[in-house]
Amino acid sequence: MSIRVEVWGDYACFSRPEMKVERVSYDVMTPSAARGLIEAVYWHPGLRWVIDRIHVCAPIRFTNIRRNEVKDVISAQKVRAVMERRQGELYLATPESIQQRAAMVLRNVRYVIDAHFDLVPQQAAPGDNPGKFQDIVKRRLGRGQHYHQPCFGVREFPAQFAPCQDVPPCPEELLGERDLGWMLLDMDYSDPQDIRPMFFRAVLQDGVLVVPPLGGEGVVR
């Protein structure tokens, strides 16, 4: 079962993993970010979302901003120690941990996401079926319902969404073919002890990014 969703917002940041300190966004939304956005609208253990295409419906524009980020994290070891001893403090002092970082982000973004879902038999209930999930997704999209606020890469950049009937025309500057280089496709969770990123060669053709299947040709780990 397939759906088509239009999403838009003021800013977006789909961070390149090779940039370690400063955030630099990919030119367009990544498939994993698109999947996460749709899962914010509707997630169920009995289905798995698959992104087929991403239509870029606005010119690609970058801007530089500075963001306050917390540099520290609470380790699992500390949490476990506090739970066992029943004493100690579990918090981060923002004034002490905050740091300012530059980021190159996208602005005024608009995309149309073509996606479908596959049933996961091991997690689906006996009464679950594609038609049931399709109706639920369409209803939630039409009402603007979501489990948590969809975002464009980071929580500070919220995404608006709505069902899409007709894809907006491709911006003139995106006509033709544009090689976007290697892009993150998704994470491979087949082995929980060895989770690996998967990449593919992203090519924008007349504003459309065709996403290969996870096990498809050209996908590298």
Q: What percent of the chain has pLDDT over 70?
A: 99
Question: Residue 204 falls within a domain, yes or no?
Answer: yes
Question: Residue 79 falls within a domain, yes or no?
Answer: no
DSSP secondary structure letters along the chain: -EEEEEEEEEEE--B-TT--SSEEB-SS--HHHHHHHHHHH---TTEEEEEEEEEE-S---EEEEEEEEE-----HHHHHHHHHHT-S-----HHHHEEEEEEEEEEEEEEEEEEEEEE-TTT--TT--HHHHHHHHHHHHHHT--SS--BSSSTTSB-EEEE-SSPPPPPGGG-SEEEEEEEEEEEE-SSTTS-EEEEEEEEEETTEEEPPPTTSTT-B-
Question: Residue 84 falls within a domain, yes or no?
Answer: no
Q: How many domains does the chain have?
A: 1
CATH number at residue 120: 3.30.70.2660
Question: Residue 77 falls within a domain, yes or no?
Answer: no
Asked if residue 13 has pLDDT above 90, the reply is yes
pLDDT in tens, 88-136: 777 777 677 777 788 899 999 999 999 999 888 777 777 788 888 888 8
**pTM of the shown model:** 0.85
Domain encompassing residue 203: 2-67+101-210
